[in-house]
Structure 1
Amino acid sequence: MAGSAAPTSGMKKELTLFNFFTIGFGAIIGTGWVLLVGDWMVLGGGPIPAMIAFAIGALFLVPIGMCFGELTAAIPISGGIIEYVERTFGRKLGFLTGWMLLLGNAPLCPWEAIAISKLLTDRFAEFPVLAWLRSVKLYTILGADVYLWPTLIALAFAVLVIVLNFRGASAAAKLSSFLTKALLTGMILAMIISFMGGDNLAKAMPPFSQVIGAAGGKSTEATSLLGGVLAVLVMTPFFYAGFDTIPQQAEEASENLDWKKFGLVPAIALLASGVFYLICIFAFGTIVNWHDFVMKPVPALAVLEQINIFFYIAMLIIATLGPLGPMNAFFGASTRLMLALGRKEMLPKSFAQIDPTSGTPKQANIVMGALTLIGPFLGGNMLLPLTAVASLGFIFACTMAGFACFKLRKTEPDLPRPYVVNGGKGGIIAAIVAGLIIVGLMVIPFSPAALKPVEWAITITWIVIGFVIFFACGGAKVAARKP
């Protein structure tokens, strides 16, 4: 029994623990493990520094995942992050937290649609039988060519995600379950190919060495093993973003869900993703000597193409399906955030409407559907600045969840908590410290992960637009309410 019952809203209660896990796992993994594994090795100076960094990154974020688990099990409502922060720090900060997490989630839906289009354009069109994919060029935007057929196919994938989300959380969860199995198949395939070559550890050596002029002219800037680990570590939060999608759909949990077990699901999704990344980095980094591996464009695919064309095609298909996981999870999370903002009159009240048939947020689905369909038309370079911006929105909200979890222990000590953070207040403090460190790395000038001027401009514009809407809807005048 959850600590604070969800509102009787007409939303269907169908999601199981496994559904929640696959939503989070699919949101985290995506396709970075195939497309960017070579960049991680160049940045860190080898597969070993990259593996150490991803292991630390997962452990670093686990306390934040546990804070989400405690809060969600106690207050299982859609877009719960807004409720947690509002109850502890007031409406304005509650709105800002939800609005920033929306910035961290919503842009990733069109971004994933672009990723599908790029894979079709850059990879599938290389096969002579599929050369027609690049036969009709529509236009060039910010230096990126947009072609007709890849755009239409990416739109078809996006429409699939949109339709499933319109049908309900259960239908969307089935897609996440299927994609989780596809991702695991890809990981196993990489392991098999790597171990077939033998001498895996030797191919990963030395533990650290600089690479000059790898694929795309990239070079290792770090000068030591520690420096390599730190260089990769600062960007791992972006590749672990997604576990926050799990709590946003808590209101649709099945009636007999064990909330004590649910509390561990965000942390388990993080750890499982960490293991997945470690295996893939090692497997791809030891198919051939890693120094040779990183010299090829998109090396994971390029090396497989040389080894076995059937393995290459299989991995290419899995990589193309990969973006559907984050698109599906972030679509659901974003619409639930909009629903929560509408319920609290921080957005127009129309966002609080629930479709009586599917039990999904009607207006929010329409807005997210339109945003997602725009993606394939924007070109591969249009949303690049949003990567860092989305990371800041995500980690800011995660840090606020830690603060809310800590303060709620004082302000509402009698609130039933089916699950509590392991390590007690020490675990919560660890979550807050982890969040503050990552936020600091992104906002302090001269930090390797500091936001660039254009990214600051996007962030500030987003916040200003948000508060204009907030005050226009009378959000500041509505008394805070507990569900």
Structure 2
Amino acid sequence: MVQKKPSISFFGLVAMGVGCMLGTSWLLLTGTWLEAAGGPLDLVVAFALCILVELPFAFAYMEAIPMLPLPGGEVVYSTAAFGSLGGFAVGWAGVLMNSIVFCWVDLAAISLLDELLPALSGAAVLYTVAGYPVSLSNVLLQLAIAGAIVYIQYRGADVCASLAKIATVVLLVMCLAGLALAFAHFDPQVYASDGGLDFDFRGSLSLLSLLVFSVAGWETVAKAAADATGKAARKAGAALIVCLLLVTSLLCLVSTAVAGNMPWREAVERTAPFADVLVAITGAPAIRALFLATAFVGAVGVMNSTLYSSARMLYGLAQFDLISRWFAPLHPRYGTPTRCVWAAAAFVLAAPFTGKLLFLPLINIASLATIVMWVMTLLAVVHMWKKYPDLPRPVPMPGGRPMALLGLLASLFLAGNILLPFSPGALDPLEYVLALVLALLGAGLYRSRDRSLSNEAREAEMFGDLLSRR
């Protein structure tokens, strides 16, 4: 069997994480965030709270990645702590989350192309699904974009990382240039207009419910670490923290820059208020098209990172006999898990033909799957303090037990936000049904594993003597 050669650098790890996080949100979601917060000051507080909520989980990953440097990311950590069922549950959650986001961003990319090329939005409609139009041009474009990303994944981790680097550099350069221009024209009176300096903690909490998942994606680094060079792999935890802090800060700065150049209630009504602000400053309408094109590059970056993560988690499940070994073979030339890539991309076959109908309810399920990954990784790290006290920990979790306690409280907040009926992010009955269907599909895959293999034998094969020191 061809072995994958480690090829991703430290910057490649950062690029994979930033590419998955930044995407199109920096350009398209500012108005949504300002409306949810009820003003720019409440928005800043929500971003600060978002870092506090996510940081304990990121710190848990910092300990887990170098402690168990094996392919599969969260699959490895949860299997070591909770056995094969725990490993499968978190792995399947990761496959679902990344696959759903991959397809949703494919839809978003087409929306951006419709904005850039009005002729596309005016194409003849083949049919409508629950009010959502489906045109031949959009179907073909979605399949073409997804197919190109699948081919890149097919070619190997180094090609994926190269695309991530390009997308990340383009995004950061354009975003930072826009921020410099916007803050050079920042007007405190505009920022304070419409009650911009009024503070209501309820507004911050309302935005926080949305924001936690808007800046998710830093955990992509955990899957990419197995394909990283030795030096980069040792610093994978640092790369993950860089992604979280960098992207969260940039998103907060973009929203703040918009509110300092345009009354925030006006920004709420705009599709891309950051681009509109820059057009007003420069007097160049082409700026809007340029930034929409940049957001399209960001969408491609997200698709690249999420499909990579989904395929690598599926491969981790197959490699360690948590699903059928049918998924495990690697490409004879590129050393990539091609069957896993195709399986992870299978969702995209349905997306173009259903418009937005199919994936609107799946977005909340993707959020639920994200919670499962974060919380299970945190619990796995905490549980292994007792289960494997002598296991080498090159990077102990910063903050130790107090930080773990904060993470458990954050876990309760996240779970309540999506499971309690009165919560802003709560699942509706249809989403519960879809979650159950996907869970049953996962159960079928779990049953396809080699059940003649005992848990002890499976863990011995998975970890070798890595966990032998207790």
The two structures share one fold, judged by TM-score above 0.5? yes
Instruction: Give the aligned partner of residue 252 of structure 2.
Output: 278
Say yes or no: does 1:287 pair with 2:261. yes
CA contact 1:208–1:225 (8 Å) conserved in 2: no
CA contact 2:323–2:447 (8 Å) conserved in 1: no
Query: Among 149, 153, 173, which residue is 2:141 paired with?
Result: 153
Return the offset for 1:404.
0.4
- Normalising by structure 1, we get a TM-score of 0.89
Say yes or no: does 1:385 pair with 2:372. no
Q: What secondary structure, in the 3-state scheme, does the structure 2 residue paired with 1:204 have?
A: helix
Instruction: Give the aligned partner of residue 227 of structure 1.
Output: 202
Unaligned runs of 5+ in 2: 464-470
Q: C-alpha separation between the residues in 2 aligned to 1:378 and 1:440? A: 31
Say yes or no: does 1:336 pair with 2:312. yes
Residue type at the aligned position of 2:236: F
Q: C-alpha separation between the residues in 2 aligned to 1:114 and 1:241? A: 19
Deviations 1:373-393, CA, capped at 9 Å, x for gaps? 543333134311111110110
Instruction: Give the aligned partner of residue 214 of structure 2.
Output: 239
Q: What secondary structure, in the 3-state scheme, does the structure 1 residue paired with 2:62 have?
A: helix
Deviations 1:343-392, CA, capped at 9 Å, x for gaps? 23222211111223112112101223343354333313431111111011
Instruction: Give the aligned partner of residue 375 of structure 2.
Output: 399
CA contact 2:98–2:306 (8 Å) conserved in 1: yes
Alignment of 1:18-417 (within 5 A): 18-121=11-114, 123-126=115-118, 131=119, 134-199=122-187, 201-206=188-193, 208=195, 225-257=200-232, 259=234, 261-302=235-276, 307-417=283-393
CA contact 1:64–1:431 (8 Å) conserved in 2: yes
Change (3 A) 1:297 1:268: closer
Return the offset for 1:90.
2.0
Change (3 A) 1:475 1:315: farther
Q: What secondary structure, in the 3-state scheme, does the structure 1 residue paired with 2:128 have?
A: strand
Return the offset for 1:257.
3.3
Return the offset for 1:193.
4.1
Larger CA deviation: 351-360 vs 230-239: 351-360
Change (3 A) 1:313 1:412: same
Q: C-alpha separation between the residues in 1 aligned to 2:181 and 2:279? A: 12
Residue type at the aligned position of 2:148: L
Change (3 A) 1:473 1:239: same
Larger CA deviation: 407-416 vs 470-479: 470-479
Q: What secondary structure, in the 3-state scheme, does the structure 2 residue paired with 1:462 have?
A: helix
Q: C-alpha separation between the residues in 2 aligned to 1:144 and 1:100? A: 28
Return the offset for 1:331.
0.6
CA contact 2:179–2:254 (8 Å) conserved in 1: yes
Residue type at the aligned position of 1:337: M
Larger CA deviation: 149-158 vs 73-82: 149-158
Deviations 1:19-48, CA, capped at 9 Å, x for gaps? 111101111111122111101101111122
Instruction: Give the aligned partner of residue 466 of structure 2.
Output: none
Return the offset for 1:190.
2.9
Q: C-alpha separation between the residues in 1 aligned to 2:452 and 2:54? A: 32
Instruction: Give the aligned partner of residue 214 of structure 1.
Output: none
Instruction: Give the aligned partner of residue 217 of structure 1.
Output: none
Residue type at the aligned position of 2:55: V
Deviations 1:257-291, CA, capped at 9 Å, x for gaps? 361x3222212210111111111111222222222
Deviations 1:39-88, CA, capped at 9 Å, x for gaps? 11011111221122122202321121121121111111221312211221
Residue type at the aligned position of 2:211: T
Residue type at the aligned position of 1:85: S
Q: What secondary structure, in the 3-state scheme, does the structure 2 residue paired with 1:415 have?
A: coil
Unaligned runs of 5+ in 1: 1-7, 211-222
Change (3 A) 1:15 1:318: same
Residue type at the aligned position of 1:203: V
Return the offset for 1:304.
5.0
Deviations 1:458-477, CA, capped at 9 Å, x for gaps? 11211122112212434595
CA contact 2:318–2:326 (8 Å) conserved in 1: yes
Return the offset for 1:240.
1.7
Change (3 A) 1:92 1:352: same
Change (3 A) 1:294 1:338: same
Instruction: Give the aligned partner of residue 3 of structure 1.
Output: none
Deviations 1:292-348, CA, capped at 9 Å, x for gaps? 222334444555556531211111111111111211111111111111111232222
CA contact 1:54–1:236 (8 Å) conserved in 2: yes
Instruction: Give the aligned partner of residue 419 of structure 1.
Output: 395
Larger CA deviation: 171-180 vs 296-305: 296-305
CA contact 2:418–2:425 (8 Å) conserved in 1: yes
CA contact 1:443–1:450 (8 Å) conserved in 2: yes
Q: What secondary structure, in the 3-state scheme, does the structure 2 residue paired with 1:139 have?
A: strand
CA contact 1:10–1:359 (8 Å) conserved in 2: yes
CA contact 1:49–1:208 (8 Å) conserved in 2: no
